[in-house]
């Protein structure tokens, strides 16, 4: 543990040095043409970093049935005629978990999130949660150093990577019922109480602390013996595909201090890894270990209920917009990407990629998204900003892929990315946008512009054809200029083109490395392709 803490301190110093250096970077690549300079616009109307419900200061804190002292009291009521001292001596009840509070900045929060087994919530776990669905947001200004508060239940033997936390209560949780992939129950590591069943003990403690759930279940806790496994379906309306699953979402079902997790598949279905005997609260965040979607909402808290929790997000809603971006980000971070390099990955010396999903159009009116690596400062800022939420689903998906391709390019070759020609940077991102988006939307075709957002990557891969294009950009000025050529290049693959990009910043340098690196029967026609796409 000492070694780990020393490494964490070194990591913090390392990130600080790198981040200070990155302040000098002002490159911001985007899906269309305009540079977004006004960072104040997206801050307006988003002053609260969490929804009001996450501020539990005005909500009554419930008496904790899983506190060791209350479990001892329940045991005494069941087995020792109320004799607390004897109950302490013979019950076998000992602290199994700690209920902790974290007050941390973004850097420390990223350290905590590095462990996927640590489940944290931005609100207390011992308050009454609404029975209705609610959304949360985390739209802090980029570069914010605001202290954030989170709560968690951790095993008593768990070693936290930071020291900035407060123990709110010692817990005894004997009913944390996990199941394996086949639904078979996994035996709990928490010792059962002596001479009293776990179900009776928990029921009595709930009764003594006034948490019997009668208003929710309609029956006393003691009468409720059936187990249920959380599951359901989370989908969104797609303009091209109809109803699709929000693949990759991590769904959490929580009752008091126990959380069971499930992951949404491509059809939208999920099933959590444990069972409950009483109602639980569902929730999810638009986040995975490798990335976080920020913006007007950060996640959804479902109702307190038993049975499946199903959600379908219609078009032109914030949930649909965030779900669309999440699907694309999950694709690039975790799924098949044609052997390409991943975007910046989270880890000990690295920070999580953050995507700001702005629920409004770009103030300049010309950008669907942009990428600026300087905004990654200390892991607090969002390197990627997204706009235009009402566009078709395949367009939103494609723009997300485009901006993540910039992030991957920067991560692969920072110096040449920061000093690279625009036509190189944007042509590559446009090519990845075309290739990956078409694996989900087979008919997808991005807009190409000679001189900047070119179709050179597509021409190097697909079959021979006549290419016609009517747009040309020079020095930021877009004009109509029709031109055509015969594409006679084919059968390169995405990884070959990416490898040739590595170490190059110029149009001619990229072309020459492709020519010299691979034995392709059509390589002698590369000049025509590169010449067409850079010429008016």
| Residue-level pLDDT at 351 | 82
- Inform me whether the pLDDT recorded for 9 exceeds 60: no
Residues 427 and 454: beta-carbon distance below 8 Å = yes
Residue at 423 is within a domain: yes
Residue-wise pLDDT for 376-421, tens only, equals 876 678 999 999 999 999 999 999 999 999 999 999 999 999 999 9
| Residue-level pLDDT at 110 | 83
> What does the radius of gyration of the chain's CA atoms come to, in whole angstroms?
27
Question: Measured between alpha carbons, how far is 216 from 204 in angstroms, rounded to an integer?
Answer: 18
Residue at 337 is within a domain: no
User: In 3-state terms, the chain is what percent helix, strand and coil (to 5)?
Assistant: 35, 25, 45
Count of beta carbons in the 10 Å neighbourhood of residue 77:
18
- Inform me whether the pLDDT recorded for 11 exceeds 70: no
Residue at 6 is within a domain: no
Residue at 211 is within a domain: no
Residues 277 and 175: beta-carbon distance below 8 Å = yes
Residues 92 and 71: beta-carbon distance below 8 Å = no
Residue at 515 is within a domain: yes
pLDDT averaged over every residue in the chain: 87
Q: Tell me how far apart the terminal alpha carbons of the chain are, to the nearest angstrom.
A: 62
Question: How many structural domains are present in the chain?
Answer: 1
| Residue-level pLDDT at 345 | 87
| Residue-level pLDDT at 182 | 84
Residue-wise pLDDT for 41-69, tens only, equals 333 333 333 333 334 445 789 999 999 99
Q: In the predicted model, what is the mean pLDDT of residues 251-261? A: 97
Residue at 174 is within a domain: no
Partnered with residue 280 across adjacent β-strands are: 305
Higher pLDDT, 386 or 476: 386
List the single range of 177-181, 270-274, 410-414, 477-481 with lowest mean pLDDT. Answer: 177-181
| Residue-level pLDDT at 379 | 64
Q: Residue 505 is part of which domain span?
A: 417-536
Higher pLDDT, 137 or 517: 517
């Amino acid at each position: 543990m000492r070694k780990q803490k020393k490494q964490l301190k070194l990591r913090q110093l390392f990130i600080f040095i790198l981040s200070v250096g990155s302040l000098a970077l002002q490159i911001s690549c985007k899906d269309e043409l305009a540079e977004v300079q006004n960072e104040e616009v997206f801050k307006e109307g988003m002053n609260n970093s969490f929804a009001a419900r996450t501020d539990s200061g005005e909500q009554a804190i419930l008496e904790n049935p899983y506190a060791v002292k209350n479990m001892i009291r329940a045991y005494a009521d069941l087995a020792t005629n109320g004799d607390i001292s004897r109950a302490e001596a013979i019950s076998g009840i000992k602290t199994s978990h700690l209920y902790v509070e974290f007050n941390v900045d973004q850097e420390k929060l990223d350290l905590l999130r590095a462990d996927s087994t640590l489940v944290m919530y931005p609100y207390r776990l011992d308050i009454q949660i609404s029975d209705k669905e609610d959304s949360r947001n985390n739209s802090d200004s980029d570069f914010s150093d605001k202290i954030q508060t989170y709560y968690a239940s951790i095993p008593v033997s768990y070693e936290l990577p930071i020291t900035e936390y407060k123990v709110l209560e010692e817990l005894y949780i004997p009913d944390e019922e996990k199941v394996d992939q086949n639904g078979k129950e996994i035996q709990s590591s928490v010792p059962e109480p002596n001479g009293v069943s776990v179900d009776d003990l928990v029921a009595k403690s709930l009764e003594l602390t006034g948490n019997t759930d009668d208003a929710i279940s309609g029956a006393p806790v003691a009468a409720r013996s059936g187990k249920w496994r959380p599951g359901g379906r989370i989908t969104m309306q797609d303009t091209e595909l109809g109803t699709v699953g929000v693949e990759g979402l991590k769904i959490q079902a929580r009752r008091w201090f126990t959380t069971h997790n499930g992951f949404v598949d491509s059809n939208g279905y999920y099933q959590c890894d444990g069972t409950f005997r009483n109602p639980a609260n569902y929730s999810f965040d638009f986040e995975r270990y490798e990335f976080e979607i920020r913006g007007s909402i950060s996640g959804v808290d479902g109702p307190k209920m038993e049975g499946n929790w199903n959600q379908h997000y219609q078009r032109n809603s914030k949930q649909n917009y965030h779900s669309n971006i999440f699907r694309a980000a999950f694709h690039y971070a975790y799924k098949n990407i044609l052997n390409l390099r991943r975007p910046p990955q989270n880890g000990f010396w690295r920070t999580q990629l953050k995507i700001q999903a702005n629920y409004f159009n770009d103030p300049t009116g010309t950008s669907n998204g942009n990428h600026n690596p300087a905004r990654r400062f200390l892991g607090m800022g969002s390197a990627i900003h997204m706009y235009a939420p009402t566009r078709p689903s395949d367009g939103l998906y494609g723009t997300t892929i485009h901006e993540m391709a910039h992030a991957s390019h920067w991560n692969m070759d920072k110096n040449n990315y920061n000093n690279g020609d625009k036509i190189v940077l944007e042509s590559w991102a446009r090519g990845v946008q075309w290739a990956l988006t078409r694996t989900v939307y087979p008919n997808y075709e991005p807009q190409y512009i000679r001189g900047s957002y070119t179709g050179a990557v597509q021409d190097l891969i697909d079959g021979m054809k006549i290419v016609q294009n009517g747009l040309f950009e020079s020095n930021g000025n877009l004009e109509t200029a029709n031109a055509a050529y015969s594409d006679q290049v084919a059968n390169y693959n995405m990884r070959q083109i990416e490898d040739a990009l590595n170490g190059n910043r110029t149009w001619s340098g990229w072309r020459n490395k492709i020519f010299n690196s691979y034995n392709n029967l059509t390589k002698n026609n590369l000049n025509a392709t590169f010449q067409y796409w850079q010429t008016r």
